[in-house]
């Protein structure tokens, strides 16, 4: 994926207006490695971490498994108030990486014969979705429904900030989305929409008779041995030591201001689209296990990997059923990305699941207008994601990506 495309994806995939800061004092960078690496890739992950901190992000972690060994790079702090350093074991908000979990829960129901991908939404949620007879479950999962994303409503985050502890119901989120006309007719285009996954979550819960938190625990976390992966319901439940706080950063005043958003009800506005909490190792295990075939039948996994091309403005690759094919300059990988009000993360793996990379940067947008620091952040963070893929693949980083990191 080119740097420009990654930047566009970062802009469009985030759940808020982008912001960043350029100064962060007193944050060190540490790296740990074991064994022998297959190739030396420049710039080093230590340099990547330094650049990420340089755009104002309080903390950063990257966990890279190249198929032979695991390398970890950690930078900055997990909690600005206490100064506690970031660790690779910290839990964090994974944002839209959640969509892959939600899609897995849906496809497990397909495997059980309880849900059909090409059945209309109206069959499962009668009277809920305008034109629901012509929108299929598959269209929700691969973002070809045309339904407007509630997070794209120009007033959504401004209104939410007035009452930050408000827990939105699914009906409230849908009402916001359905006040807007569809982006296109069902099946006639592609547009990333959190509304799609709110509906997938509703369908999964109705068909199974269980809540998302219970389903994720029973059908994904327990079988894979994921002890710290769960839906925030509606808030994260382990926000003490071992938790990476997320910060909404405002830079427009000239002096960066940080708001800790870790106590917000993530499950109350992100839900099935973005409310899972995990750790780098567990998120890596999830994606590797998924691509290795441990969670779905071969047929269902193939359906998940059947992609529709994304517009060039979003990225180079394709979107399947909650799973992205990312055609990076260092090779094709599979995974997703995630943004919350206080985190920017990425999770990728090779098609056989043998290599994986997970990153998290603990700063999110707060400003309502573009400025130089925002521009720098939306260049550096996507470049750091691409470089992580190159390290995972043991491939040289293209010059334009290195230049973007050093911008």
Instruction: State the Cα–Cα distance between residues 286 and 401, nearest whole angstrom.
Output: 28
Q: Which residue has the tokens 């708001």?
A: 259
CA-based diameter of the chain, in Å? Answer: 58
- Which residue among the candidates 27, 38, 96, 262 is catalytic per the annotation? 96
Instruction: State the Cα–Cα distance between residues 371 and 319, nearest whole angstrom.
Output: 31
Instruction: State the Cα–Cα distance between residues 298 and 53, nearest whole angstrom.
Output: 41
Q: Which residue has the tokens 């399947």?
A: 320
DSSP line for 107-167: HHHHHTTS--TTSBHHHHSTTTSTTGGG-BHHHHHTT-S-PPPGGGSTTHHHHHHHSTT--
Contact 84, 241 (CB under 8 A): yes
96 is catalytic: yes
Task: State the angle between helix axes of 194-208 and 98-111 in degrees (0 to 180), rounded to the nearest 10.
Answer: 40
Instruction: State the Cα–Cα distance between residues 145 and 138, nearest whole angstrom.
Output: 9
Helix and strand element counts for the chain (H, E): 15, 16
Cα 115 from chain centroid?
25
Strand 29-33 relative to strand 70-79: parallel, antiparallel, unpaired? antiparallel
- Which residues carry out catalysis? 96
């Amino acid at each position: 994926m080119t740097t420009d495309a990654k930047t566009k994806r970062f802009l469009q995939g985030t759940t808020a207006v982008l912001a960043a800061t350029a100064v962060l004092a007193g944050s060190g960078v540490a790296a740990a490695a074991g064994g022998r690496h297959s190739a030396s890739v420049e710039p080093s992950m230590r340099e990547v971490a330094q650049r990420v901190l340089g755009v104002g992000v309080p903390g950063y972690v990257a966990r890279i498994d190249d198929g032979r060994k695991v390398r970890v790079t950690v930078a900055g702090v997990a909690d600005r108030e206490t100064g506690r350093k970031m660790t690779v074991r910290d839990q964090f908000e994974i944002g839209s990486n959640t969509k892959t979990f939600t899609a897995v829960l849906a496809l497990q129901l397909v495997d059980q014969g309880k849900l059909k991908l090409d059945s209309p939404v109206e069959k499962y949620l009668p009277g809920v979705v305008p034109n629901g007879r012509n929108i299929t479950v598959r269209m929700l999962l691969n973002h070809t429904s045309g339904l407007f994303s509630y997070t794209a409503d120009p007033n959504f985050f401004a209104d939410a900030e007035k009452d930050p502890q408000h827990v939105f119901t699914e009906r409230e989120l849908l009402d916001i989305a359905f006040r807007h006309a569809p982006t296109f007719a069902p099946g006639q285009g592609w547009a990333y929409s959190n509304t799609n996954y709110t509906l997938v979550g509703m369908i999964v819960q109705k068909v199974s008779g269980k809540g998302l938190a219970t389903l994720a625990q029973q059908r994904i976390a327990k079988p894979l041995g994921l002890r710290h992966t769960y839906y925030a319901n509606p808030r994260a439940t382990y926000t003490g030591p071992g938790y990476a706080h997320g910060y909404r950063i405002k830079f427009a005043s000239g002096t960066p201001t940080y708001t800790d958003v870790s106590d917000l009800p993530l499950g109350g506005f992100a839900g099935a689209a973005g409310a899972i909490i995990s750790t780098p190792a567990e998120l890596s295990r999830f994606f590797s296990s998924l691509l290795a075939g441990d969670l779905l039948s071969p047929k269902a996994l193939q359906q998940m990997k059947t992609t529709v091309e994304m517009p060039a403005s979003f990225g180079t690759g394709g979107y399947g059923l909650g799973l992205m094919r990312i055609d990076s300059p260092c090779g094709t990988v599979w995974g997703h990305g995630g943004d919350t009000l206080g985190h920017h993360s990425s999770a990728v793996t090779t098609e056989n699941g043998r290599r994986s990379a997970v990153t998290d940067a603990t700063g999110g947008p707060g400003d309502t207008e573009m400025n130089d620091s925002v521009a720098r952040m939306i260049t550096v963070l996507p470049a750091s994601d691409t470089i992580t893929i190159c390290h995972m693949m043991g491939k040289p980083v293209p010059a334009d990506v290195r230049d973007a990191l050093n911008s």
